[in-house]
Amino acid sequence: MSDNLVNLNVNPCKMCMPMGAVTALYGIRGCMSILHGSQGCATYMRRHLATHFNEPIDIASSALTEQGTVFGGEANLLKGLSNLIELYHPEVIGVCTTCLAETIGEDTRAIINKFYEQNPGLAVKIIDVSSPGYGGTQNEGFFAAVRAVIEQVEPVELGQGHKGDGSFCVLEDAENSKIIENTKRTVPLVSSVSPDKGWINIITPMISPADTRWLKGFLRELGLDFILMPDLSDNLDGVTVKTYQRLKIGGTPLSEVARMAGAQLTVEFSEYTKPGESPAVFLNQAHGVPYVQLPLPMGIRGMDAFIEALQEQGGLVSDELLRARGRYLDAMVDGHKYCARARAAVFGEPDFVTATVRLCCENGIVPVIAATGSVCADLKPSIEAEIAACADISFAEKAEIRDDCDFDTIEKYCQELGANLMIGSSEGRRIARRLGIPLIRCAFPIHDHVGGQRVRTLGFDGSLNILDQVANAMLDKTSASFRTELYQKFYKDEVGAAS
Ligand code: SF4
């Protein structure tokens, strides 16, 4: 069947944009989200997030009905905002649009402005996020929310070049700084960064709370001050408390978001985010903050690139970090003879797929299928040569790289190309079951296992977590099948040939 004539019943290899947007907003302190659209969207997202993170998830909805769809949803959204403030007392509200709101052409910003007019003195920051479900995937929705928060929060440019007189320089680079005039502002001093020292912004895509905790610890280990945006580590992997808290207390405070404009560098973990959608590019264009877009820190090259970027900003590499790197290399050597048998189908968001494919190729695991549901024309050129070289060494005849892909297509290639392993979300479980191959669950969503919030993929430890699972899956396969294979090869076939 032509790529343009697909059966509409296929299972898309992606989640919709507002799913990513509400996830990112969970990483903002005191933030509550409301979806401007029908109730089903909020129910779908609550259900996915609750089962993956094993946390209660609250997402409000403007609950548009037929009437709102025809005459506009202003009244619903105004009422929804009032109710939300009364129940949750948030510091921040993220209003995310959905397919319906975007299709009927709602002017969400105008409705929010009207709400401010109706409620003078309101001390709640209301952010609007354009996230039509059909506009992209959860990854694009995630970055849209992060960028909207940064764009809509008043910046406080108190950077490394603070001059103490109300004006200061924002460092574009060491030699070339520029003076921003009349920037004297007061802000609440709730910050983990020291105004006397430079800091870096770290912008992540959707990573697990456990990986977020690792990232924060790693940056501290290198002695760097940083602002992490967003910070999912607490709100989506919380502690048990006696009284249920409607509004989670973790996340990046707006006071720190306001300081991002004064950072010495932004590190954005994304290779594919377009300039118009990138928070790092916005900070650069609006405030002169230099930036670097890095791959997710997975595998030896992903980690080395990250460490190198941090060293350039004054990060100190400890002996312990060098030992961790050495242990990872040692594990690569230990596991290569098992990993070399793996023919993996890697699927998910483009940055996850790219980082995982590179990790696979470093370890002789041939990614015979690399697939994303996102429309991402750059995916193929960025990993094609690497996969071809890996396949060549391992005598794999063919590999397929697909964007805008669904699970029907992934299953077809799994069969055609002899995949013996899947790496991605639990959405691949039906294919894995039908084909009798293992599935390593390490991406959102994970519905059929617990521990989605604790999945580790980043750093040397996280990479090792994936590597060990691949090696063990191959060992399990061998131990479950070698007797039958030997019997067939050296006894039954010979007996059959002789008789
Ligand atoms: S795809 Fe559109 S209608 Fe479906 S849940 Fe997402 S926003 Fe709602």
CATH number, residue 295: 3.40.50.1980
123 and 258 housed in the same domain: no
- CB distance 303 to 459 below 8 Å: yes
Span from the CA of 16 to the centroid of ligand 1 (angstroms): 6
Residues with Cβ within 8 Å of 312's Cβ and at least 6 positions away in sequence, in order, are: none
> Dihedral of the CA atoms 289, 295, 297, 298 (nearest 10)?
180
Average pLDDT over residues 404-423: 96
Query: Considering the chain, what is the average pLDDT of its residues?
Result: 89
167 and 122 housed in the same domain: no
Q: Is 365 left (phi over 0), alpha (psi -120 to 50) or beta?
A: beta
Residues with Cβ within 8 Å of 189's Cβ and at least 6 positions away in sequence, in order, are: 255
What residues make up the domain containing 261? 161-312
Per-residue confidence at 258, pLDDT binned at 50, 70, 90?
very high
Q: Is 451 left (phi over 0), alpha (psi -120 to 50) or beta?
A: left
CA max distance for the chain: 97
Asked if residue 4 is part of any domain, the answer here is: no
Span from the CA of 23 to the centroid of ligand 1 (angstroms): 15
Q: For residues 13 and 197, what is the distance between their CA atoms, to the nearest angstrom?
A: 44
287 and 327 housed in the same domain: no
Span from the CA of 100 to the centroid of ligand 1 (angstroms): 8
Q: Whose CA is nearest to atom 6 of ligand 1?
A: 133
Task: Tally the domains of the chain.
Answer: 3
Q: What is the pLDDT of residues 94-148, one digit of tens each?
A: 999 999 999 999 999 999 999 999 999 999 999 999 999 999 999 999 999 999 9
277 and 333 housed in the same domain: no
Cis peptide bond upstream of 445, omega within 30: yes
128 and 168 housed in the same domain: no
> What confidence score (pLDDT) does residue 4 get?
63
Query: Could you tell me which of 176, 179, 186 has the C-alpha nearest to residue 162?
Result: 179
Most confident of 238-252, 289-303, 478-492: 289-303
Q: What is the pLDDT of residues 186-211, one digit of tens each?
A: 233 334 444 456 899 999 999 999 99
Q: Residue 183 pLDDT more than 70?
A: no
Percent of the chain scored above 70 by pLDDT? Answer: 89
Span from the CA of 74 to the centroid of ligand 1 (angstroms): 19
Asked if residue 491 is part of any domain, the answer here is: no
Asked if residue 433 is part of any domain, the answer here is: yes
Q: Residue 30 pLDDT more than 80?
A: yes
Percent of the chain scored above 90 by pLDDT? Answer: 80
- CB distance 183 to 254 below 8 Å: no
> What confidence score (pLDDT) does residue 497 get?
64
Domain boundary among 277, 294, 312: 312
**Residues at CB less than 6 angstroms from ligand 1:** 16, 18, 37, 41, 44, 98-99, 133
326 and 274 housed in the same domain: no
Per-residue confidence at 480, pLDDT binned at 50, 70, 90?
confident
> What is the SS3 assignment for 423?
strand
Q: Whose CA is nearest to atom 5 of ligand 1?
A: 41
Q: Show the tokens assigned to 468.
A: 């060990």
> What confidence score (pLDDT) does residue 11 get?
85
CA-to-CA dists, residue 376 to 140, 399, 460, angstroms: 11, 18, 28
Asked if residue 345 is part of any domain, the answer here is: yes
Q: What pTM, to 2 d.p., does this model score? A: 0.89
> What confidence score (pLDDT) does residue 189 get?
32
